[in-house]
Chain A
Amino acid sequence: MRRFNKFLVLPVLLLVISGCTNLDEELKGDIVKDISIPGISVGGDTGGSDVLGAAYAGLRNTGTANHGGYYSVQTITSDEQCIAAKGGDWFDGGILIELHRHTYTPGHAFINGTWGAHYGAINTCNELLARTDLDANQIAQVRAPACLFLLSYAGYVW
């Protein structure tokens, strides 16, 4: 019996030890590969179509959507928009006043955020351009607008 136990324990141990050294990370709740599914046209103007959806979303973010990005930078610095600090409220560390007075620096969060949003949008477009299944019309749609906004915002950056 005693000898039997010895011989039983050792192989079991070896089995467990060699059992697993696989460390591949298989993500379950995240998306790591591009998914694109064309939409179904039911007629009428449905905005950005099919695979260009992400590119158009980028265009929105670098255009007229969201406080703190392109829209804010363009309007607060001009007379299109005025943000009045009411006592302390909307003072926000002076960053809005700086836009109005044109005394902002590269450290300004809105300026930096706008830059990042533009390049993110351009990257989405570039990824789309790298695909082979876009037609000439779609390629033209992807190329133009995001780059235009960046040029208008930051000047000649290439």
Chain B
Amino acid sequence: MLQGKVAGLQVYNRGGDPNRASTIRLRGISTVGANVEPLIVIDGIIGASLQNLDPNDIETMDVLKDGSAAAIYGSRGSSGVILITTKKGSKKDGKVKLSYNGQFGVSNILRSISVMDANEFKAAGGTDLGSNTNWLEKVTQTGTNMVHGIAAEGGGGNTSYRIAANIRQVDGILRTSGFDQLNTRLNFNTKALNDKLTIDFNTSFTQRDQNFAFNEALRYAITYNPTAPVMGENSPFPFNSAQFGGFFESLGLFDAFNPVSIIEQNKNTGRRVEFNYGANLGYNLLDNLTVNLRVAQQNNNSNNRQYYPTTSHFRGNATSPLRKGRADFYNDESRFKLYETYASHLSDFGKSNLTLTAGYSYQENSFFSRSLSIGDFPNNDIDFSNRIESSQDLQNAGFISANSDASPDEKIIAFFGRANYSFDDAIFVNASMRREGSTKLGEDNRWGWFPAVGLGVDLNKYANIGGVDLLKARIGYGVTGSLPLQNGLSKPIREIENGPDGSVSTRLVRAANPDLKWEEKAETNFGIDFGAGRFRGTLDLYNRDIKDFILERRVDVAVFGVDTRFENAGKLNTKGFELALNYDLIKGNETNYTTGVVLSSYKTVLKEYVIPQEIRANLGAPGQNGTNMILVREGQRIGQIWGPVFDGVDDRGNPRFKDVNGDGKFVTDQDKALEPDADFQVLGNGLPTLELGWTNNLTIGGWNINAFFRGAFGHSLVNTFRAFYEPRLSSQTSYNFMNTSLMIPELRNARFSSLYVEKADFFKLDNLTISRRIPLGSVKAISNLNVSLTAQNLFVITKYTGTDPEPALVYYGSVDNGAVENIGNPDVLSPGIDSRNNYFSSRIFTLGVNFNF
């Protein structure tokens, strides 16, 4: 939707998992510890969720990048602001206008990871289990997606409304994955009291039934032995199939699960219900004085459930003599309340005018969650997650795991004032000040002052250069605060120890920091808007300084009693530019061709950090624990991939590494990665240096062709599949081997090095849409009939050998042997790692139709 269209905005959903939200960044990361996603504002309501919005309901979308523009939104807008206005009703001719929009699409895997087939595997010395299975084919499918949307709008007098309902059904390329979503939205606008009072009310309701399935099935489809049978009855040796629901399993092998069994036996589903409403009242107290009151609320409930029957080897404990089967339940409720009130006063001085605004904002967030994990079910006659009282775990209470958590009422309270002055319709000045407080900070430092100023000049009005239609210069400076995601960081946190005799005591697990204060971001932005004839351009240059970011830090255990607490520490600087150019190549009566390029680049340097340097992002098991891939060092760019340099294979099949510093010693063990004489170097950077979007829009008569190309350059990815499974390890002949063009047949030892760091520059045809307005002639029943065909990801040009060359902006940590990936705590300092738990990217063809009736 937004991907690649706005300079400086990064939207990446690696692989396009339909059940995972995209990672969104504006001008790179704005902070290390706090919330790095931009603030979404829908119809004036801050903090809305994009998942609750159907693209069909969007009227306009604006992105506020400039720190001075975003400053008025306060700390939550610190990472940029995306402003969305939904469609309002039109009251033209008093009739009800109905419109329909429908889509049907199919998707297929775009790129896969090349592994050996059964014959190649046997020839390479793999353990032969007698069958020939293409595991990837067994767990994937042709995905489909269907959309039906209907909207009614109308009104009369001062009143207008729009009601829309959308249904979305998506089946992903991973078998059983997908969701069904119903989304409804109402916008109602009216005026009362002699048109002095404007009332805008909107509400939306979304219900999403999700089938998350298990992305692990894709991971194990890559690594599972291609000669292994799907079903246990085809096992080459005696195998108790019944114990595993008929499926074959490699028992005793670390991190190996039959992928087909994972998705066929287990369930991973959830339902999310979101209900929002917002009301805005505006009253013209005097001709030049307006007061506004806004009230909004968002309620979100999620209910997730996993069920692993007694015969599932994957998380179902099928091999356990005592505890077979498992049911996990999770539910959460979150509530957001917003009250805002402000008054604006306009003074008109003839040639110039001044608008003054002052107001108060109160935001409150609260969250409650509950989870339960229980197992040991009698058998699989029914889905025992519907009848957990039959769990044998109830006799062994210690086996049941139950958790609940409730957040405090997180509050942000702000007082703000703003002045906008314009002179001669050509010089614009704005200044704002915000006094903002948060519950999340230390007692004495909860309140901060955040100023912003901006100046814009329409140079063309004075310079009057021939042929130039538009020449504006803008400069802005703004300071905003940022808040951490978690609560209680300034408080001492303790954990309970239960004694066997019923005694209870606690120990400190995190020290308090009552001085914890606001993280501050100061941003200067300089921009030029330029236009001449058919040409339009915008250039933005910016400099961003972030200080005091909030980070969990190792502290002296002898002083604090525990070796960790949260502190303000570190400085980050980002410099970048964004350029957008548009040119109307052909401008005719019947034929129009417009092309536009969006370019952006930035560089983020860690100026100060809690320690001078550290390595992070563990590669993981099997065999590569204690192997950290990312270097964080003061004074250098973030996202540096760090490791030894591969230099061929010795005669025993071990990798040789380069003596990088030429001192005759080979210091390549991981715990020496930061020693002065270490033979390690920067192997690449996880963040792109240049991102490109290129739009082409051609209209010929009733036909429209839109081609949108997208690329990112300069970034590298660690291909972790290769790092584990490409060397021909004699001890790992029960896992399949990768078979990319970079494979070295002699290599028989897996050790992380430059060999697995690949340049991932790419250029792709992101979206190609051909649409046609169908002439309806004498048909009166419908109007504005439009039919379109869209292809997404038609081609990708890249040298990267993994599934998806898009930058990986965060790392979720290494996960293995069926453990659950923690997506709630992404590491933003460790970009550039293509982990083994990714969804695979797909190519999607969609047929769409819309008309009014």
Which positions in A face B, CB cutoff 8 Å?
A: 5-6, 9, 12-13, 16-17, 19-42, 46-55, 57-58, 85-95, 97-98, 103-105, 107-109, 115-116, 119-120, 123-124, 126-127
A29-B407, A49-B501 known; 15 new pairs, CB 8 Å cut-off, are A9-B291, A21-B413, A27-B491, A39-B501, A49-B499, A54-B497, A88-B729, A89-B621, A91-B749, A93-B625, A93-B626, A94-B670, A123-B507, A123-B560, A123-B561
Q: Cα distance A16–B343 when bound, in Å?
A: 13
Q: Cα distance A95–B752 when bound, in Å?
A: 14
A120 touches B561 (CB 8 A): yes
B750 touches A87 (CB 8 A): yes
**Residue among A19, A87, A95 with max Cβ neighbours from chain B (10 Å):** A87
B622 touches A29 (CB 8 A): no
Minimum C-beta distance from B324 to chain A (A): 27
Tell me which residues across on chain B come within 8 A of A37, comparing CB atoms.
Answer: 502-505
Q: Cα distance A46–B499 when bound, in Å?
A: 9
B382 at the interface (CB under 8 A from A): no
B626 touches A92 (CB 8 A): yes
B505 touches A89 (CB 8 A): no
A93 touches B360 (CB 8 A): no
B748 touches A87 (CB 8 A): yes
B503 touches A30 (CB 8 A): no
A23 touches B671 (CB 8 A): no
Given contacts A31-B494, A57-B507, contact A23 B625 (CB under 8 A): no
Stretch at the interface among B71-79, B437-445, B454-462: B437-445
Q: Cα distance A119–B285 when bound, in Å?
A: 65
Minimum C-beta distance from B341 to chain A (A): 5
Q: Cα distance A52–B495 when bound, in Å?
A: 14
Q: Cα distance A66–B532 when bound, in Å?
A: 70
Tell me which residues across on chain B come within 8 A of A23, comparing CB atoms.
Answer: 411, 413, 437-439, 446-447
A16 touches B360 (CB 8 A): yes
B254 at the interface (CB under 8 A from A): yes
Q: Cα distance A107–B413 when bound, in Å?
A: 44
B627 at the interface (CB under 8 A from A): yes
Q: Cα distance A49–B43 when bound, in Å?
A: 60
Which residues between 514 and 541 of chain B lie within 8 Å of chain A, taking CB atoms?
Answer: none
Across the interface, B508 reaches (CB within 8 A) one of A27, A109, A123, namely: A123
Across the interface, B671 reaches (CB within 8 A) one of A29, A98, A120, namely: A98
The contact sample of 25 A-B pairs, CB cut-off 8 A, is A13-B343, A19-B339, A23-B446, A25-B439, A28-B406, A30-B488, A31-B493, A34-B506, A35-B505, A36-B503, A36-B506, A37-B503, A40-B502, A41-B501, A47-B500, A48-B499, A54-B497, A54-B506, A88-B624, A88-B749, A89-B254, A95-B671, A107-B675, A116-B557, A116-B563
B94 at the interface (CB under 8 A from A): no
Tell me which residues across on chain A come within 8 A of B491, comparing CB atoms.
Answer: 25, 27, 30, 32
B38 at the interface (CB under 8 A from A): no
Minimum C-beta distance from A77 to chain B (A): 14
A35 touches B671 (CB 8 A): no
Tell me which residues across on chain A come within 8 A of B732, comparing CB atoms.
Answer: 87-89
Question: A-B pairs with the 4 shortest C-beta distances?
Answer: A93-B670, A39-B501, A39-B503, A123-B561
Chain B, residue nearest A87 (CB): B731
Does more than half of chain B's interface fall in helix, strand or loop, or is it mixed? Answer: mixed
Minimum C-beta distance from B331 to chain A (A): 15
Q: Cα distance A42–B503 when bound, in Å?
A: 12
Q: Cα distance A71–B731 when bound, in Å?
A: 27
Tell me which residues across on chain B come within 8 A of A95, comparing CB atoms.
Answer: 625-626, 669-671
Minimum C-beta distance from B468 to chain A (A): 46
B781 at the interface (CB under 8 A from A): no
Tell me which residues across on chain A come within 8 A of B293, comparing CB atoms.
Answer: 12-13, 16
Minimum C-beta distance from B486 to chain A (A): 10
Tell me which residues across on chain A come within 8 A of B501, comparing CB atoms.
Answer: 39-42, 46, 49-50
Q: Cα distance A40–B408 when bound, in Å?
A: 34
Q: Cα distance A92–B751 when bound, in Å?
A: 9
Minimum C-beta distance from B679 to chain A (A): 13
B251 at the interface (CB under 8 A from A): no
Minimum C-beta distance from A19 to chain B (A): 7
Q: Cα distance A6–B193 when bound, in Å?
A: 12
Minimum C-beta distance from A76 to chain B (A): 13
B779 at the interface (CB under 8 A from A): no
B362 touches A20 (CB 8 A): yes
Across the interface, B623 reaches (CB within 8 A) one of A12, A13, A32, A85, namely: A85
Minimum C-beta distance from B77 to chain A (A): 19
Q: Cα distance A115–B562 when bound, in Å?
A: 11
Tell me which residues across on chain B come within 8 A of A52, comparing CB atoms.
Answer: 505
Q: Cα distance A94–B341 when bound, in Å?
A: 61
A88 touches B731 (CB 8 A): yes
B822 at the interface (CB under 8 A from A): no
A88 touches B557 (CB 8 A): no
Q: Cα distance A115–B752 when bound, in Å?
A: 28
Q: Cα distance A49–B505 when bound, in Å?
A: 10
B495 touches A92 (CB 8 A): no
Chain A, residue nearest B499 (CB): A53
Q: Cα distance A42–B408 when bound, in Å?
A: 39
B59 at the interface (CB under 8 A from A): no
Across the interface, A119 reaches (CB within 8 A) one of B413, B415, B563, namely: B563
Which residues between 557 and 592 of chain B lie within 8 Å of chain A, taking CB atoms?
Answer: 557-558, 560-563
B671 touches A53 (CB 8 A): no
B503 touches A51 (CB 8 A): yes
Across the interface, A16 reaches (CB within 8 A) one of B339, B407, B625, B669, namely: B339
Minimum C-beta distance from A65 to chain B (A): 13
Which residues between 56 and 106 of chain B lie within 8 Å of chain A, taking CB atoms?
Answer: none
Chain B, residue nearest A53 (CB): B499
Q: Cα distance A38–B503 when bound, in Å?
A: 5
Tell me which residues across on chain B come within 8 A of A104, comparing CB atoms.
Answer: 671
Chain A, residue nearest B369 (CB): A29
Tell me which residues across on chain B come within 8 A of A89, comparing CB atoms.
Answer: 254, 621-623, 729, 731-732
Q: Cα distance A51–B496 when bound, in Å?
A: 11
Tell me which residues across on chain A come within 8 A of B622, comparing CB atoms.
Answer: 88-90
B672 at the interface (CB under 8 A from A): yes
Tell me which residues across on chain B come within 8 A of A41, comparing CB atoms.
Answer: 501
B727 at the interface (CB under 8 A from A): yes
Chain B, residue nearest A13 (CB): B341
Minimum C-beta distance from B45 to chain A (A): 17
B142 at the interface (CB under 8 A from A): no
B488 touches A25 (CB 8 A): yes
Minimum C-beta distance from A12 to chain B (A): 8
Q: Cα distance A51–B447 when bound, in Å?
A: 39
Minimum C-beta distance from A70 to chain B (A): 15
Tell me which residues across on chain A come within 8 A of B623, comparing CB atoms.
Answer: 85-92
Minimum C-beta distance from B435 to chain A (A): 10
Tell me which residues across on chain A come within 8 A of B408, comparing CB atoms.
Answer: 25-28
Tell me which residues across on chain B come within 8 A of A54, comparing CB atoms.
Answer: 497, 505-507
B405 touches A50 (CB 8 A): no
B503 touches A50 (CB 8 A): yes
Across the interface, A92 reaches (CB within 8 A) one of B193, B343, B624, namely: B624
Q: Mark B719-748, 1 if CB is under 8 A from A, else 0.
A: 000001001011110000000000000001
B492 at the interface (CB under 8 A from A): yes
Q: Cα distance A19–B295 when bound, in Å?
A: 14
**Residue among A52, A54, A97, A116 with max Cβ neighbours from chain B (10 Å):** A54
Tell me which residues across on chain B come within 8 A of A9, comparing CB atoms.
Answer: 283, 285, 291
A88 touches B437 (CB 8 A): no
Q: Cα distance A120–B506 when bound, in Å?
A: 12
Q: Cα distance A27–B84 when bound, in Å?
A: 34
Q: Cα distance A35–B21 when bound, in Å?
A: 40
Tell me which residues across on chain B come within 8 A of A55, comparing CB atoms.
Answer: 505
Minimum C-beta distance from B835 to chain A (A): 17
B557 touches A87 (CB 8 A): no
**Residue among B285, B415, B490 with max Cβ neighbours from chain A (10 Å):** B285
A5 touches B406 (CB 8 A): no
Minimum C-beta distance from B437 to chain A (A): 5
Tell me which residues across on chain B come within 8 A of A115, comparing CB atoms.
Answer: 557
Chain A, residue nearest B512 (CB): A32
Tell me which residues across on chain B come within 8 A of A38, comparing CB atoms.
Answer: 503
